[in-house]
Amino acid sequence: MKIAVLGAHGQIAMLLHPILKSNGHEVIGLIRNPEHADEVSRAGAEPVICDIESEDDISDAVGRVDAVVFAAGAGPGSGAERKWTVDRDGALKLIEAAKRNGISRYVMISAMKVEEPRGNEVFQVYQKAKSEADKALRESGLDWTIIRPGRLTDNLPTGRVALGPDLEEGEVPRADVAAVVAEVLEIPESAGYQWDLTGGDNPIESAIKQEIA
């Protein structure tokens, strides 16, 4: 498949590209900063410039791919405004681009418990932005899968997770999130599911297959 990853210089995305490449896919890495092009290229994705906050229509940048992955985020240092423009509107622009380009498959990296806002004001805006983006995707008519990780860590991958519609809070290595995203792209029957994701005991492929059985 040809797969476009939005937010391609992000930490999860940079772990995802080599997995997708080794699974035989061609990866388009959508980045906002041209200086990241070489790094993204070395990770296995073809860099394409796409700043979701400065473009209304990102369909040209996304191109004629088979699947898209939303891996972007305004990040912890950003204010409330960018939660709307990146975390919500960026995801919505990717939905529109997918529809315009006839791309049915969309995998979203979301976050756990975004319908139960907690924390400071900016964090609550982030959760609302993610929640609205996820709702729009569920209602989009696309073949979506929404992965909602707990707190992200930079620990080494374990290849084992807990996956399900409503899990207890927990943390999960970014590398295992990347592996789950790559695996759902291998399993078209994972479309139409939204799962929380934390560290756990279940090998990734069997965790997904148990949920869709």
Ligand X SMILES: NC(=O)c1ccc[n+]([C@@H]2O[C@H](COP(=O)([O-])OP(=O)(O)OC[C@H]3O[C@@H](n4cnc5c(N)ncnc54)[C@H](OP(=O)(O)O)[C@@H]3O)[C@@H](O)[C@H]2O)c1
Q: Which amino acids are annotated catalytic?
A: 126
* Nearer CB in complex with ligand X: 73/199: 73
Both tokens assigned to 108 = 């979203």
Query: For binding to ligand X (CB under 6 A), which residues are involved?
Result: 7, 9-13, 32-33, 36, 51-53, 71-75, 86-87, 109, 111, 149, 151-152, 174
The least distance separating ligand X from the CB of residue 53, rounded to whole angstroms, comes to: 4
Q: Provide the CA 120 distance to its chain's centre, in angstroms.
A: 24
* Nearer CB in complex with ligand X: 121/171: 171
Q: DSSP letter for 157, please.
A: P
Q: Which residues of 31-46 are buried (b: 16+ CB within 10 A; e: fewer)?
A: bbeeebbebbeebbbb
Both tokens assigned to 59 = 């369909």
Q: DSSP letter for 143, please.
A: E
Given a contact cutoff of 8 angstroms between Cβ atoms, the answer to whether 150 and 172 are in contact is yes
The least distance separating ligand X from the CB of residue 213, rounded to whole angstroms, comes to: 26
Q: How far apart are CA 170 and CA 119, in angstroms?
A: 16
Cα–Cα nearest to 96, from 70, 75, 118: 70
* Nearer CB in complex with ligand X: 75/164: 75
Q: DSSP letter for 36, please.
A: G
The least distance separating ligand X from the CB of residue 3, rounded to whole angstroms, comes to: 16
* Nearer CB in complex with ligand X: 47/103: 47
The least distance separating ligand X from the CB of residue 51, rounded to whole angstroms, comes to: 4
